[in-house]
Each structure stands twice: as C-alpha cells, then as structure tokens.
Chain A
Amino acid sequence: MLKAHLRDCLATLGRLWRDKINTLLIAAVIGITLALPAGLHVLVQNLSAVSYSWEGSLQASLFLKDSVNETRGRQLAQELGRRASQVQYISREQSLAEFRALSGFGEALDLLADNPLPAVIVITPKAQQTPQQVDQWLEELGRLPEVELAKMDQKWLQRLYAILDIVQRSVLMIAALLGLAVIVTVGNTIRLDIENRRDEIVVMKLIGAPDGFIRRPFLYTGFWYGLAGGVIAWIFVRGALLAISLPARRLAGLYESSFTLTGLSFSASLLVLGGGLLLGVAGSAWTVSRHLSRIEPT
C-alpha cells in the first residue's frame, strides 16, 4: 500500500515535470496567492516588534485630588504597585520643583499663592497586560475617590495597537479568502485534468480499478501543486524581505534604533509550505469527490 502511494506520488511528479511550463504557471499562481498573506504576516509581525520596543515607555498618570494628603497618596501608590510593573508617587511639592526646574516658568509660579500642581502617581503597566486590559484598569482607577483624572500617556501608541489589531485580523481574513482561492485554483486545474483523462478513467473502471486507485494520482497532483506553490510563495517573501531590508535598516538608523527586519520564522515557513500542501490536497479532494464518480463506463 505504501509502495503504491510512493509510486503514484512519483509518477504524478513525473507527469507534471513533463509539462513543466504549465505546471510552473499554475504553481506560480498558487505561490502568489499564498505569498500575499505570508508577506502581510511578516509586515504585521515587524510593526508589532517596533511597537513593542516602545512598550516600556507606556505609562499612565493618575492625577490625585488636592484633598488627598501625601500619606494617603503614597499608600495608594503602594496598593497599586502590586498590579503594575512600576509605580512612582510624585507629591505636589515634587511636581512643583520639577516644573520649576524644567519649564523655566519658575518665577511665574512665585506669583501664585497656592501650588497649582496636583500630586501624581505614574504607573507603568505590567508588560503582559494587553492594551485593552490596561485601558479597562485605567478606567477603574479613574473612578477611585482619590483620583481626579486617569490619563494614558502616549495615546498614539494605543491607537497603533488598535490599528495593528485590525490589520492582524484583516490578514487572517485575507489569508482565509486566498486559501479558498488556492482550493478553487487547484480544484479547477484538476477538474480539467479529469476531463482530459476521461477515457483513461473509463478504461480503469472497466478493468476493475477501485475508486481509491483512480483518485490517488489526482490527489497527488494537488499535493505537488500545493507544495510547489508553497515553495514559490516562500521564495517570493524571502526575496521581498531581502529587497527592503536595506532601506528598513537605513530608516531604523534615522530613528537611532537597532531594529532589524525579522523574516519568516521557521514555523511560519513550515506553515506556508504545509498550508500550501494541505490546500492543494483539499482542492483536489474536493474536485475529485465531485467529478470522478460522475464518470462511469456505459
């Protein structure tokens, strides 16, 4: 049985090889179809990597009410510290001193009778918290009686996360649609193959070939198309990465970042190849199940 599979597998490869140009064209169509989601995946991955490198600087500020004294403020900071990676209490006096030192408006402040600056608790959320969790937490904190206002710094980073989330889901949807396209492409190719070999199939059935025997070469045709498409997709993505890695490094250099483009990981490469292969087999199985049983000797 295994031997029969191996023989069909190789015989199918031989048949496809004899028709190189056609096979290559079909594999290229599948390759392009697979390269698109794979490329987008790499893009999103790299954007995520960029944004995560800023994550350490994601901070929230809790502006406390003036009625909250320093003891209570420090106590609150300590309580919150358990749920954050870092908290810092900045008293009203510290705020004032900092402002005086940094802003250059020190003399103007002297004109005021009271210190207008609130006490602040600066919170760095734990890294494993998702932006949504941080948001939710911040909302809770905003409702605390001691807190006047809870505000996320670097709002834009959150927006970037939200956008990335949308893009990530879009990539999944695009991948699903294009996967369907691969199934249809392979299915249609094999449908034509079945039509062209109708006489052969009839003869096979006449001399008592079981369905499985007749089906196998077509399934392996789909297998090879899918695998070849996966390989081509992988080459496309690698090529594209190679082409943009230099400008990407230059751009990173302008931001004084040591960021380098990450390519397709080993597991992602396997996914492209394995995905192509599975879609190829799925496409052929779908067609074969629909068309082969309709061909009967009369």
Chain B
Amino acid sequence: MGEAISFHEVGHRYPSGHETLSQVSFALAQGEMAFLTGHSGAGKSTLLKLIACLVRPTRGQVVINGQNTGTLKRRQIPAFRQDIGLIFQNFNLLYDRSVFDNVALPLVIRGFDHDEMGRRVRAALDAVGLLGREKVLPITLSGGEQQRVGIARAIVTKPALLLADEPTGNLDPTMAREIMQIFRRFNEAGVSVLVATHAVDLIQQLPYRILNLAQGRLTSERPVGHHA
C-alpha cells in the first residue's frame, strides 16, 4: 500500500527566522487515520499547511499522494488542493450562500453538471446527517451542524485524503464526539484521515496512532499524559 502523506526530514522556518518545524519525519499510509496533537504553537497548523501546500518546506521533502509539494508550480496548486479535503476550526463557510451552494462549491469549480452535482451534494449531506437542510443558510445552524456542512464540502469530491485542523475546537464535547465519529466512518470507507486536535481526552480511547508535536519536533507517537 502506498503512502498518503510522507514527510522526510522536514523543516520550516519563516523568513523572520522563527523555526516552526524541524526534522519531522513520518508517513501516513493510504487508508490510515491518525491524530496530530501538541500545545498551541507546537507546529500542528504549520504541518497541515505543508500538506495542503499553503506553505512550502524550507528543508526536507513533503510528498502527498505521490506528489512532491516542493516541485509544484504555482498554477498547479489549485488542482493539487482539489485532491485533499480540508476541514477548518472556524468552518470557513460562505455565509451568504445556502448549505447546498456551500457543499456544491468544489463541484462547481470542477464543472460538474447540474444533476450530478445535486446527487453528490445530497449524498455528502446524507453522510453527515444534514439531508433536508440544503436550502437553509449556514448561519441558522448550530456550530456542530456548520462543521458538518464543512465536512460535507470536504468529502463531496470524494478525496482520498481528509485533513482537519482543530475541527472540534469551537464545539461542545457532545458535538465534538459526533464529528469524530463522522471521521471514523469515512476512514472505514477507505479515506486517509489526519486530524489535528488538542482534545486529547477525546481521542485517547480511540484505536488510532497519535503523533505528538512539541516545539516543532515530533516527540512521540503516543501522547504523554493527559492534558485537560
């Protein structure tokens, strides 16, 4: 089986000289699910940005779905990002558009025809338990529901890799658990999933690998102790 994500001796340093990651090496196999933990400022976000090619490594190599991000040209980035489902802490929805339009956006970008788009959007909303809410505006939904809209948008194109940056950071524990369950279901369907979170208590009882970052370095593959 190939690797969805492969980091080899990756370092990242801002032009100001501040080093956010150093000598990070790890791999996520196709179809694997893992968590990325660490204090805020430990480099979790930077690591995810490196995967989505929002920033480039200053050292080492990042290979995503067989593509080395260091060699991507600027105009190749949109197509590269289309193969990754991104989920954000603040949901990043468009609040002047309906739930349907939000979820359909990645399909619109790819020029899907109207009927196929409708089918896919409904399937994605069904998968996150929001079928029947297509016409409402996201602002009328609860935080957990908004995050599920964000997840539906990420999976509507059936990407092989899902990345989530603190997806439960703005949610209460019940909603957070629901969201984690959704990720597990997608993983069981064969999607590679990497979730950055500091909700350690929420994930420790789950049977997945946990990558822990501290001060820009990968310190262990299991978290050390509990962080409440």
Q: Which residues of A contact B (CB under 8 A)?
A: 1, 3-4, 199-200, 202-211, 213, 297-298
Contacts and interface: CB of A to CB of B under 8 A. Distances in A.
Given A1-B111, A200-B94, A207 B54 contact: no
28 contacts: A3-B111, A3-B113, A4-B111, A199-B92, A199-B94, A200-B94, A202-B92, A203-B93, A203-B105, A204-B105, A206-B52, A206-B54, A206-B81, A206-B86, A206-B88, A206-B92, A207-B81, A207-B82, A207-B106, A208-B77, A208-B79, A208-B106, A208-B109, A209-B78, A210-B79, A210-B109, A213-B78, A298-B54
**For the complex, would chain A's binding face be called helix, strand, loop or mixed by DSSP majority?**
helix
Please tell me the size bucket of the interface on B.
20 to 34
Contact of B105 (A3, A207, A210, A211): A207
Interface in B78-124: 78-84, 86, 88, 92-94, 105-106, 109, 111, 113
B73 interface: no
A210 B86 contact: no
Nearest to A212: B78
Contacts of B78: 205, 208-211, 213
B153 interface: yes
B111 A208 contact: no
B75 interface: yes
Contacts of A213: 78, 109
Contacts of B83: 208
Nearest to A296: B54
Nearest to A293: B74
A297 B80 CA distance: 15
B56 to A, nearest CB: 12
